[in-house]
Structure 1
């Protein structure tokens, strides 16, 4: 009984310590660069969402195994904030 409860605790601790994945796309920027490093690079692939335009992203991706995509989570159709007028008097 001691062995099985120790095994359950060990397996539970290992699964709780497994890394979780963060949100892939940052909604603050409209353009993301999808970087592929493949098996030789050893790093897999990831998204870098820190670009304000496609030409800026394409210049950074030039010469790399990367593509530029529009960020699907960037809020495009958000209404601009209404101006606030102060009352005088």
Structure 2
């Protein structure tokens, strides 16, 4: 009985350790997107070539277009200027 508990504890610790070290997949933008239908803009951007995209959208009532994030780069938001406090007038 004690041996079974030890094995289960060891297995649990190993699984927990494995889950803790998993990192999310890196997002990568590809140059071509399947657009239309249920896809929000810019669409499903997982295609390296126009031909891959065309083969995927065939018969799905979708179309292929360039990925704007890949083509033009993401626009970085401009920092808002800091407001200076107005001086308080004496009464």
Greater per-residue helix proportion: 2
Q: Which has the higher contact order (CA 8 A, sep 6+)?
A: 1
- Structure 2 length-normalised TM: 0.41
- Structure 1 length-normalised TM: 0.42
Mark the structure with the bigger radius of gyration.
Answer: 2
